Chains A and B, each alone.
Chain A
């Protein structure tokens, strides 16, 4: 699928702006169980993406995703840089190799999720961004082709974030807190949800 430049531009812009708007909340969540920099780090990365928006949206989708990934890797300044960077790099790479949207959406998203898992040496259930991305992937698989796919993805993401609160972190800085990490929503799960919701909202708003 070729994505019109204007569509790509509005989706990337909306997603980056939503993350930037969520930065205070992400920082506050990260202050509870991490080192308190997730909001400022994601904001820095998303501002860098916005700074290249015209160049990014002029690319074919696979190259645009790789450019977003590389920009996040080079500018975020925390572990979330390589984690989100690997997500977008892998998604772009999958599209460069025989995968096509919309029919291969679950496959492409799956490649991206696997890249996050490998980069963080983490699995679902460890109170990380994977606890949103993996349930979203499952919904993309089970509801593929359904007319209410976007609505189901949105519900999945929102519910998945809340389910991270009772989890005990075993990866990342929050794992240092042990049982004290229980009761707080994971900031990475939250930022993943913000991105998923922003892209879904952008797709819903298409004419």
Chain B
């Protein structure tokens, strides 16, 4: 199996994160590594930097990882998590400016075709274009 870009889903809600991951897997099966996390460190609504770091490492691929987020704190915490990765991995992770469900499905579908990290990000972000 050739390497494909990994996908990480970060929501304030673990239910949304899991549900989104389920929809992604329905599209791409096991061709793409998908990891998700949701909830703050106490399990309430929110996001957690350590859980995001774990998810990125779980979805790790030499081609990189695309992270899909919902609201502000998920984005800020994901950017922080990327900066806290080991230096060799930092430049291979992108946080996409895209709606979380549609973005994750589009990104994973693109990744399954063997596209580069930049291509995967671009396809997800087309959804946010005017």
Q: Which residues of A contact B (CB under 8 A)?
A: 35, 37, 40-41, 44, 73-79, 81-83, 85-86, 119-120, 172-173
B11 contacts partner chain A, Cβ-Cβ < 8 Å? no
Distance between B2 CB and nearest chain A CB, rounded to angstroms: 35
Distance between A19 CB and nearest chain B CB, rounded to angstroms: 17
Q: Which residues of B contact A (CB under 8 A)?
A: 40-42, 44-50, 71-73, 76-77, 79-80, 84
Partner of A44, one of B42, B50, B73, B79: B42
Distance between A170 CB and nearest chain B CB, rounded to angstroms: 12
Distance between B97 CB and nearest chain A CB, rounded to angstroms: 12
The listed residue with most B CB atoms (<10 A of its CB), out of A82, A85, A86, is A82
Whose C-beta in chain A lies nearest to the C-beta of B42? A44
| Contact of B45 with A37 in the complex, beta carbons under 8 Å | yes
Partner of A74, one of B42, B49, B71, B79: B49
| Contact of B73 with A85 in the complex, beta carbons under 8 Å | no
Partner of A81, one of B44, B71, B77: B77
| Contact of B41 with A78 in the complex, beta carbons under 8 Å | no
Cα distance A77–B74 in the bound complex, in angstroms: 9
**Number of residue pairs spanning A and B whose beta carbons lie under 8 angstroms apart:** 58
- Identify whether the interface residues of B are mostly helix, strand, loop, or mixed: loop
- Identify whether the interface residues of A are mostly helix, strand, loop, or mixed: helix
Whose C-beta in chain A lies nearest to the C-beta of B74? A79
CB within 8 Å for A78 and B47 given contacts A44-B41, A173-B72: yes
Partner of B84, one of A73, A75, A77, A172: A73
Beyond contacts A44-B42, A74-B41: 10 other A-B pairs, Cβ-Cβ < 8 A, are: A35-B45, A37-B46, A73-B80, A75-B41, A77-B46, A78-B46, A78-B73, A81-B77, A173-B71, A173-B72
| Contact of A82 with B45 in the complex, beta carbons under 8 Å | no
Neighbouring B residues of A73 by C-beta, 8 Å: 49, 80, 84
Neighbouring B residues of A82 by C-beta, 8 Å: 49, 76-77, 79-80
Instruction: Report, nearest first, the 9 A-B pairs whose CB atoms are least far apart.
Output: A77-B40, A82-B80, A79-B73, A77-B46, A79-B76, A78-B73, A82-B76, A77-B41, A78-B46
